[in-house]
């Protein structure tokens, strides 16, 4: 992964990333975990990208990732056919 940092909101929009937020809900910090493929790479191997909002320190980053993992492990995968 090379290049200069740039906003990725348009890329997330193109992927269809959405959030259920109420009129009074505000996102105050964010960590984006993304599978990245370098299109001009000879290998095409996927890479893991971790991106944070400006001002998100490493403590908040780790806390958000840990909390998200707890939620994901307690929730059936998207598209799961399990009746639970």
Output the pLDDT for position 43: 76
Question: 30-65 pLDDT, tens per residue?
Answer: 999 999 988 877 777 899 999 999 899 999 999 999
Position 69 in a domain: yes
Domain encompassing residue 63 = 29-76
Domain count, the chain: 1
Q: Nearest CA to 2 among 54, 39, 43, 57? A: 39
Position 18 in a domain: no
Output the pLDDT for position 14: 96
Indicate whether 82 pLDDT > 60: no
Position 3 in a domain: no
Position 22 in a domain: no
Its pTM stands at: 0.73
Question: 14-24 pLDDT, tens per residue?
Answer: 999 999 999 99
* Alpha-carbon span 57 to 34, nearest angstrom: 19
Position 56 in a domain: yes
Contact status, residue 56 vs residue 30, Cβ threshold 8 Å:
yes
């Amino acid at each position: 992964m090379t290049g200069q940092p740039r906003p990725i909101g348009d890329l997330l929009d193109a992927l269809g990333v959405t959030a259920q937020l109420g009129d009074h809900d505000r996102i105050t910090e964010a960590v984006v975990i993304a599978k990245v493929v370098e299109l001009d790479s000879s290998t095409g191997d996927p890479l893991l990208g971790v991106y944070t909002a400006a001002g998100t320190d490493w403590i908040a980053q780790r806390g958000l990732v840990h909390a998200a993992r707890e939620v994901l492990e307690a929730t059936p995968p998207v598209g799961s056919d399990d009746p639970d």
